[in-house]
A and B are shown apart, each in its own frame.
Chain A
Amino acid sequence: MPDRYLELVNSGVGATVAGRLGLPRPAVLRRYSPGDPLLAGELLCGELKGGLDGLVELLAAAGVQTAATDEDGRKWAGLLFDATAARGPEDLAELRAFCNGALRRLRPSGRVVLIGRAPDGADPAVDAARQALDGIVRSLAKELRAGATANLIQLVGEASAADAEGALRFFLSARSAYVDGQVLAVSPGAGSPPADWTKPLAGKVALVTGAARGIGAAIASVLARDGARVVVADLPAAGEGLARVANKIGGSALQLDIAADGAPDTITSYFEQRHGGLDIVVHNAGITRDKLLANMKPEHWDSVIAVNLAAQLRINAALLATGCLHDGGRVVCLASTSGIAGNRGQTNYAASKAGVIGMVRSYALRFADRQAAINAVAPGFIDTDMTRAMPLLTREVARRLSSLQQAGQPVDVAEAVAFLSQPGAGSVNGQVLRVCGQNLVGA
């Protein structure tokens, strides 16, 4: 649905008026289309001495034009600062100096990416500096305007530049349009990068549940665009829309109630028979039955837990037990900011979504043993049929309550899911990636 306010403040007169009155001015975000360069312009790179090896070479191979020094009048599509060598709080001044002038010359939908190491308890001064990056990126994200974002890649242990490649490409590109103020931990052992970064999912077989419309349909479409053979699943009653999605993306439709007793068997036998297994599972199907806890009936509670959480657990267990999910497989579970920050009237929904986060973290080591990865994506306020049904004023206020001052699109969630599904993204495991435009709630 069109964001009339966003359109207004991006028109000539609207922009002037909004500027004079100090009203929020959400920008039209740059979004990815196939063939786009990774970054629409030059990337200014800085580092603390002794940073990562091979970072510049990696960027050059990705087709990014980099520069090491800032000059007056030069505009930047992005700023990248490697702070992995931070030894103490005093080192952070270099980061301040690096950003200072260049930030003013950041192009619309610009990208700021910091790379640091995760605190490891070895040296308090080092850990303090490492943790400080977290505060910097979260605050900077709130300062940036014109659709620019700031995110932090946190290398765990001995993780290298190569381990961070997938995350770095994602944060620099327009695929991460609505991911802002986030910290993503990257561990050693990415798995081999895709042969072709324009079709990173080529040869992979994917299942997307709840794909008849909205975010699920967008995920299916982006996975197919990235080269995957996609099977879309949804309730039999949603079969008409599901068939439309399957035919649009050249995939297959599987009518299925994921909460039914036989669902795990149906899924494993379907993929064994038709595709000899499965590489990517996106648990997107979910329902809401909002009630205050005091008024919550058993059916409201039980159905939400059954569909949003219990079904995912049972399906994951079956996929691992049967070996239907190939080694190196990727599972992406849809959580929600409700599961992080809570939401009035959603104890059941928040329970299921926080439960998903717990499940992802718990599974991570077992997945890593198979070179596989499991992660959660937590969407914030996304324009869907669900938000379309909200009262106008509530919706307009909710849309502005993020650093990007607008709602996300289903495709923004889909891009994050596709990134976590890539062969090279094995270094991201057991994480929760928020796609919320740095929502002010529960940040």
Chain B
Amino acid sequence: MPTRRAAILGGNRIPFARSNGRYAQAGNQDMLTATLDGLAARFNLQGQRLGEVAAGAVLKHSRDFSLTRESVLGSSLSAETPAYDVQQACGTGLETTILLANKIALGQIESGIAGGVDTTSDAPIAVNEGLRTVLLEANRARTVGARLKALAGLRPGQLVPEIPQNSEPRTGLSMGEHQAVTTVEWEIGRQEQDELAVASHRNLAAAYDRGFFTDLLTPFLGLTRDQNLRPDSSLEKLAGLKPVFGTKLPDPTMTAGNSTPLTDGASAVLLSSDEWAVEHGLPVLAHLVDAETAAVDYVHGDRKDAGLLMAPIYALPRLLERNKLTLQDFDFYEIHEAFAATVLTTLKAWADPRFCAERLGRDEPLGEIDRSKLNVAGSSLAAGHPFAATGGRLVATLAKLLHEKGSGRGLISICAAGGQGVVAILEA
């Protein structure tokens, strides 16, 4: 079956807010609906039946089992547009993009919206597991006596609710603690982390100042810029912060300044076939060329070579090989800044002969990249990181950068919880 490249026509996101900040009262559905509405307004999509909408959230209420479809129904998009939820932790937004791009490539759909949303403010709180068991037992009981017997099993301790944890179920360690181990193993210094964080804030601020986000963002609840952005961030200010992760390890380096904060927000990307774009008079910003996912055994694997957030390092060489490209063949690199140290570990591993030989089976390392091409419009350290929304932010940002340049190639790399990673290539 002949395939075609899916076109990226643009995106929309709401400014990202700090946890318990401006969007504290807004749920996932509110944010995703507003984001879809902003996209519909930008591209005149009201009442139009699109191929599909795929989006997801990492922290999700059980009542939001059909979050994306409900958001579509609440938006100005046609109610005849099918929608479904996808979840691959922080890879969600990029994974939905790949999913729809593949359907477009196969000719199954002509257009679609990929996206993601997350709130850490309006997090789902579940009933205690003990209480849940008792209630289910009582529900199953057929007689009053049996029901009373089941309810007699209630204990005061069961009233304590379960609050979602930002930690890996299999290790009990938070993402930051996992990265802290990797940071030590790869000898990533404090100063280089802080430098990356400062660059992220400066680049994001400069992008705002030159109007880069004018057609990528729609204000929400009075917020017009990312709440986490500190345009005046400096090495001196960051140097004064105390480490918050890996504090039991030697020389902890990861602070609140060089780690992403908990964030609320949503993003969406409009994809289509080239024909659909022409029919609708919409310019194509870029095409999605190819993508690859990988996973590492961070539970049992090597402490240095199989860190929780290292999967993109493994995904990229496979993607490059399939597309006959080298690491240096890119004009822009969008590497998600879960932590400054994650980006630095990734770059160091790609340039490391031992790692590349032993782990990636390569004669030569992938090499270095031109750092002036890295996250040129800022990234997660400055913008914040609403888990499932980051992929959509990166795709739209990179597509616009390529479109502005006129032609070129860009790389997206996102690490995700569960030891997973997603990488993709865009071209204009």
CB-CB under 8 A from B37, the residues of chain A are: 243-244, 247
What is the distance, in angstroms, from A289's C-beta to the closest C-beta of chain B? Answer: 21
CB-CB under 8 A from A244, the residues of chain B are: 37, 41
Question: Does the CB pair B219–A240 fall under 8 Å?
Answer: yes
Question: Does the CB pair B41–A236 fall under 8 Å?
Answer: no
Question: Does the CB pair B224–A250 fall under 8 Å?
Answer: no
Question: Does the CB pair A246–B41 fall under 8 Å?
Answer: yes
Question: Does the CB pair B76–A247 fall under 8 Å?
Answer: yes
Question: Does the CB pair A236–B219 fall under 8 Å?
Answer: yes
Interface residues of B in 12-46 (CB under 8 A from A): 34, 37-38, 40-44, 46
What is the distance, in angstroms, from A400's C-beta to the closest C-beta of chain B? Answer: 36
CB-CB under 8 A from B44, the residues of chain A are: 229, 246, 250-252
In the docked arrangement, what's the CA distance between A242 and B213, Å? 16
Question: Does the CB pair A255–B214 fall under 8 Å?
Answer: yes
Contact-residue size bin, chain B (C-beta under 8 Å from the other chain): 20 to 34
CB-CB under 8 A from A276, the residues of chain B are: 281
Question: Does the CB pair B211–A260 fall under 8 Å?
Answer: yes
Question: Does the CB pair A253–B46 fall under 8 Å?
Answer: no
- A394 in contact (CB, < 8 A): no
- A388 in contact (CB, < 8 A): no
CB-CB under 8 A from B38, the residues of chain A are: 239-240, 243, 253
CB-CB under 8 A from B281, the residues of chain A are: 273-276
- A237 in contact (CB, < 8 A): yes
What is the distance, in angstroms, from B381's C-beta to the closest C-beta of chain A? Answer: 23
Please report the number of residue pairs spanning A and B whose Cβ atoms sit closer than 8 angstroms.
71
- B360 in contact (CB, < 8 A): no
Interface residues of A in 248-276 (CB under 8 A from B): 250-257, 260, 262, 273-276
Question: Does the CB pair A255–B43 fall under 8 Å?
Answer: no
Question: Does the CB pair A250–B47 fall under 8 Å?
Answer: yes
Question: Does the CB pair A247–B46 fall under 8 Å?
Answer: yes
Question: Does the CB pair A242–B41 fall under 8 Å?
Answer: yes
- B329 in contact (CB, < 8 A): no
Chain A interface residue count, CB cutoff 8 Å, equals: 25
In the docked arrangement, what's the CA distance between A173 and B214, Å? 41
What is the distance, in angstroms, from A244's C-beta to the closest C-beta of chain B? Answer: 8
- B263 in contact (CB, < 8 A): no
CB-CB under 8 A from A262, the residues of chain B are: 211
Instruction: Kindly name the residue among B44, B222, B224 whose own CB sees the greatest number of chain A CB atoms within 10 A.
Output: B44
Q: Say which residue of A237, A254, A256, A273 sits within 8 Å of B283 (CB atoms).
A: A273
In the docked arrangement, what's the CA distance between A391 and B38, Å? 36
What is the distance, in angstroms, from A212's C-beta to the closest C-beta of chain B? Answer: 10
Interface string of A197-239 (1 = CB under 8 A from B): 0000000000000000000000000000000010000001111
> Which chain B residue has the least Cβ–Cβ distance from A274?
B281
In the docked arrangement, what's the CA distance between A242 and B220, Å? 11
Q: Say which residue of B47, B221, B224 sits within 8 Å of A237 (CB atoms).
A: B224
CB-CB under 8 A from A229, the residues of chain B are: 44
In the docked arrangement, what's the CA distance between A36 and B194, Å? 67
Interface string of B201-221 (1 = CB under 8 A from A): 000000000010111011111
In the docked arrangement, what's the CA distance between A257 and B37, Å? 21
CB-CB under 8 A from A240, the residues of chain B are: 34, 38, 218-222
In the docked arrangement, what's the CA distance between A247 and B215, Å? 16
In the docked arrangement, what's the CA distance between A134 and B280, Å? 50
Interface residues of B in 173-224 (CB under 8 A from A): 211, 213-215, 217-222, 224
Q: Say which residue of A239, A246, A256 sits within 8 Å of B219 (CB atoms).
A: A239
Question: Does the CB pair A252–B219 fall under 8 Å?
Answer: no
* A247 touching B283 in the complex, CB below 8 Å, given contacts A236-B214, A240-B220: no
> Which chain A residue has the least Cβ–Cβ distance from B76?
A247
Interface residues of A in 317-365 (CB under 8 A from B): none
Interface string of B361-372 (1 = CB under 8 A from A): 000000000000
> Which chain A residue has the least Cβ–Cβ distance from B216?
A255
CB-CB under 8 A from B43, the residues of chain A are: 252
Interface string of B39-76 (1 = CB under 8 A from A): 01111101100000000000000000000000000001
- B282 in contact (CB, < 8 A): yes
* A252 touching B282 in the complex, CB below 8 Å, given contacts A239-B219, A243-B218: no
Known: A240-B222, A246-B40, A252-B42. 20 other contacts (CB 8 A): A236-B217, A237-B219, A239-B38, A239-B224, A243-B218, A244-B37, A246-B42, A247-B37, A247-B46, A250-B47, A251-B41, A254-B42, A255-B215, A256-B214, A257-B211, A260-B211, A262-B211, A273-B282, A274-B283, A276-B281
Ranked nearest first, the 8 interchain pairs of A and B with the lowest CB-CB distance are A243-B41, A246-B41, A253-B41, A247-B76, A252-B44, A239-B218, A274-B281, A240-B219
List the interface of chain A (C-beta within 8 A of B): 229, 236-240, 242-244, 246-247, 250-257, 260, 262, 273-276
22 A-B residue pairs with Cβ-Cβ distance under 8 Å, sorted by A, are A236-B214, A236-B219, A238-B219, A239-B217, A239-B219, A240-B38, A242-B41, A243-B37, A243-B40, A243-B41, A243-B42, A244-B41, A247-B37, A247-B40, A251-B44, A252-B41, A253-B38, A253-B42, A253-B218, A255-B215, A255-B218, A260-B211
